[in-house]
A and B are shown apart, each in its own frame.
Chain A
């Protein structure tokens, strides 16, 4: 079932990439690379919005209160470049990078959030993509180790 879903997503992305690219919405917002297979996928905001969306409600150290974060699930995005690998290196626009075990994406509904409480993230406000963990649902995630993984202004995901 997971494999079928992955294939359909790949097909969707391939079709989307075949279309003419227009202005900023058509520019690559996120690059996903599987270094083991050499597969690379660049996703525009439209393509990211075209992926199945998930919403999690959680608190974290960087917001004042509980908020709804919406966007594609990290595991769905990673699946676009095929299986394999143990870690994902997440890189921000300012070249800040953090290494995350792929297990996190399997065990938890980690979201590549594109909006907060319905408002799309701007680059001035942790956008366009903020990696958000469902910390309120899992006490074990309320730890500095996971705080460091809440990387914002995400631009690149490398599977190793």
Chain B
């Protein structure tokens, strides 16, 4: 295909060059013909030669007339002599003289000029009745008449031949221009036919390629749909497995069984993570991934990561530290869950695949970019950092399961307009930088929330459910400032508590947590099992 394109280009260039060449040659030939025509139409030198011959005759006639005693006078003779001289002078100078001399191979005019000079004194001093002198002068000039006549004939014939040559040259030029035009037309037509044929071939190829691409796209979409469907289908029973494992762990007292259940729980969680990766991967491949663009607290990332990655680090017996720069903005705008996922995928990869012993993740923000610098101290072994970018060990027909996480992370970061760079620190540790453009926003007003719950786990669950909101958890001492109170609905004396709260702050929103018969005293009641999203929404309503 490439060689064909090159051939087409060369053919096009060749046709253009040849056409230009033919046109230029034709133009130059035509210009030569024009120049020749111009030269031919210059001063008619035949006339000049004839005039010389004629003036000699007139001079001889004036001498003859004087001798016969008719009209000519010595003045006439001298005048004719001068005019004859001037005609000879025409042969001596200028472009006309040069062309005339070229015909005078016998030097007849030169000899006539010499004769003029020889006879000058005799002519100038001639008297009216000096017949013998007149006869001598006539005798001296008479022989030149034939020579000048012959010269006139030569010039006339020569000029006619030249004119014939020029006419022939112009005919040749016209013929050449005609054949050159025909040749050019044939070449251009041939080239056009070829290009039209080529165009048809390319169109056909493009049509086939398009059909092929559509076929592959359809196949890819089917594959992605299958993957998505399967992932969804697998996630549902896996959630069931996780739930049952949690229940089993809650009632199991045997340490050995508990450890096995914990192991099963970890495996199930890992499988769930992989299913999520597959879902994301499929969504990215189909360009169906819709990124969120919402405000979030930078603390969300900071708090969620240890919680998310702590168990993995613990299992890998590695140390994990997550912190943020001091000047980190309080609130950012972007896709926090995808960001969190990117960080989690990379950290998990380092922990589980690279054999990291110590991982530090530092978040910072500068000039519209959220930078996560992951510093990794790893054991080495068969792993090398370039595997993160899939430059080694990745083939068309194979895909290492361990590379799925970094692949998804890379694709997500790219989707968010960011980039991942790999480097090393001064002390030889791996330094992975994930830079994503994120906008810093002014946080909305903070909602003061009081958690008045007896059960510590319940408080943790509630706190976690509303952590993403711009809330500020206040202590019981500041109850008067509370805008939302989460109150355990089933505890004793709850009606009095609610009444006291409303007395202190009539606009307070009181959310009952747990089962109760007395729902009327609360603004809303979150029954068990607690729906985190629902609770979050109720609290968010208080923000207005």
Residues of A within 8 A of B (CB): 60-64, 93-94, 96, 122-126, 144, 147-148, 152-153
Partner of A62, one of B58, B85, B94: B94
B89: chain A residues at CB < 8 Å are 124-126
Q: Report whether over half of chain A's contact residues are helix, strand or loop; otherwise say mixed.
A: loop
A126 contacts B86, C-beta separation under 8 Å: yes
Partner of A63, one of B43, B44, B83, B93: B93
- Alpha-carbon distance A153/B85, docked complex (angstroms): 12
Closest A residue to B41 by CB, please name it: A144
A64 contacts B93, C-beta separation under 8 Å: yes
- B residues contacting the other copy or chain, number (CB 8 A): 19
Partner of A144, one of B43, B51, B79, B90: B43
A123 contacts B86, C-beta separation under 8 Å: yes
B82 contacts A94, C-beta separation under 8 Å: no
- Alpha-carbon distance A124/B83, docked complex (angstroms): 6
A147: chain B residues at CB < 8 Å are 42-43
- Alpha-carbon distance A97/B94, docked complex (angstroms): 22
Closest A residue to B94 by CB, please name it: A62
Q: Mark B276-312, 1 if CB is under 8 A from A, else 0.
A: 0000000000000000000000000000000000000
B94 contacts A63, C-beta separation under 8 Å: yes
| Docked complex: B82-101 residues within 8 A CB-CB of A | 82-83, 85-86, 89-90, 93-97
Distance (whole angstroms) from the CB of A120 to the closest CB of chain B: 14
B93: chain A residues at CB < 8 Å are 62-64
Closest B residue to A121 by CB, please name it: B86
Is B55 in contact with chain A by the CB < 8 A criterion? yes
B85 contacts A61, C-beta separation under 8 Å: no
Q: Report whether over half of chain B's contact residues are helix, strand or loop; otherwise say mixed.
A: helix
| Docked complex: B43-67 residues within 8 A CB-CB of A | 43-44, 51, 55, 58
Partner of B43, one of A61, A64, A125: A61
A124 contacts B90, C-beta separation under 8 Å: no
B95: chain A residues at CB < 8 Å are 61-62
Partner of B42, one of A61, A96, A124: A61
A94 contacts B58, C-beta separation under 8 Å: yes
- The 9 listed contacts between A and B (C-beta, < 8 Å) are A61-B43, A62-B90, A62-B94, A64-B94, A94-B51, A96-B51, A147-B42, A152-B86, A153-B83
B55 contacts A94, C-beta separation under 8 Å: yes
- Alpha-carbon distance A64/B55, docked complex (angstroms): 24
If A61-B95, A62-B96 are given as contacts, then 11 extra A-B residue pairs at C-beta distance below 8 Å, sorted by A number, are A60-B94, A61-B94, A62-B97, A63-B94, A64-B94, A93-B79, A122-B82, A125-B89, A144-B42, A153-B83, A153-B86
- Alpha-carbon distance A82/B82, docked complex (angstroms): 33
B85: chain A residues at CB < 8 Å are 123-124
Can you list the 7 inter-chain pairs with the closest CB atoms, starting with the nearest? A124-B85, A123-B82, A62-B94, A144-B41, A147-B43, A61-B95, A124-B82
A64: chain B residues at CB < 8 Å are 93-94
Distance (whole angstroms) from the CB of A149 to the closest CB of chain B: 11
A152: chain B residues at CB < 8 Å are 86
- Alpha-carbon distance A61/B94, docked complex (angstroms): 5
Distance (whole angstroms) from the CB of A26 to the closest CB of chain B: 15
Distance (whole angstroms) from the CB of B133 to the closest CB of chain A: 20
A93 contacts B83, C-beta separation under 8 Å: yes
B58: chain A residues at CB < 8 Å are 94
- Alpha-carbon distance A63/B97, docked complex (angstroms): 9
- Alpha-carbon distance A40/B83, docked complex (angstroms): 26
- Alpha-carbon distance A124/B93, docked complex (angstroms): 13
Closest B residue to A94 by CB, please name it: B83
Distance (whole angstroms) from the CB of B413 to the closest CB of chain A: 74
Distance (whole angstroms) from the CB of A119 to the closest CB of chain B: 13
Q: Mark B74-118, 1 if CB is under 8 A from A, else 0.
A: 000001001101100110011111000000000000000000000
Distance (whole angstroms) from the CB of A124 to the closest CB of chain B: 4
- Alpha-carbon distance A64/B95, docked complex (angstroms): 7
A61 contacts B83, C-beta separation under 8 Å: no
B44: chain A residues at CB < 8 Å are 144
Distance (whole angstroms) from the CB of B525 to the closest CB of chain A: 108
Distance (whole angstroms) from the CB of B119 to the closest CB of chain A: 13
Distance (whole angstroms) from the CB of A62 to the closest CB of chain B: 4
Closest B residue to A93 by CB, please name it: B83
A123: chain B residues at CB < 8 Å are 79, 82-83, 85-86
- Alpha-carbon distance A62/B42, docked complex (angstroms): 11
Which among B41, B43, B44, B51 has the highest number of chain A CB atoms within 10 Å? B43
B41: chain A residues at CB < 8 Å are 144
- Alpha-carbon distance A25/B69, docked complex (angstroms): 29
B94 contacts A125, C-beta separation under 8 Å: no
A60: chain B residues at CB < 8 Å are 94
Distance (whole angstroms) from the CB of B329 to the closest CB of chain A: 80
Distance (whole angstroms) from the CB of B65 to the closest CB of chain A: 16
- Alpha-carbon distance A93/B78, docked complex (angstroms): 12
Distance (whole angstroms) from the CB of B42 to the closest CB of chain A: 6
- Alpha-carbon distance A104/B43, docked complex (angstroms): 19
A148: chain B residues at CB < 8 Å are 43
Given A61-B95, A144-B43, A147-B43, does the pair A125, B90 have CB atoms closer than 8 Å?
A: no
Closest B residue to A125 by CB, please name it: B89
| Docked complex: B4-57 residues within 8 A CB-CB of A | 41-44, 51, 55
A63: chain B residues at CB < 8 Å are 93-94
Distance (whole angstroms) from the CB of A12 to the closest CB of chain B: 29
A125 contacts B86, C-beta separation under 8 Å: yes
B96: chain A residues at CB < 8 Å are 61-62
- Alpha-carbon distance A120/B384, docked complex (angstroms): 106
Distance (whole angstroms) from the CB of A115 to the closest CB of chain B: 16
A62: chain B residues at CB < 8 Å are 43, 90, 93-97
Closest A residue to B80 by CB, please name it: A94
Closest B residue to A145 by CB, please name it: B41
- Alpha-carbon distance A126/B97, docked complex (angstroms): 14
Distance (whole angstroms) from the CB of B192 to the closest CB of chain A: 42
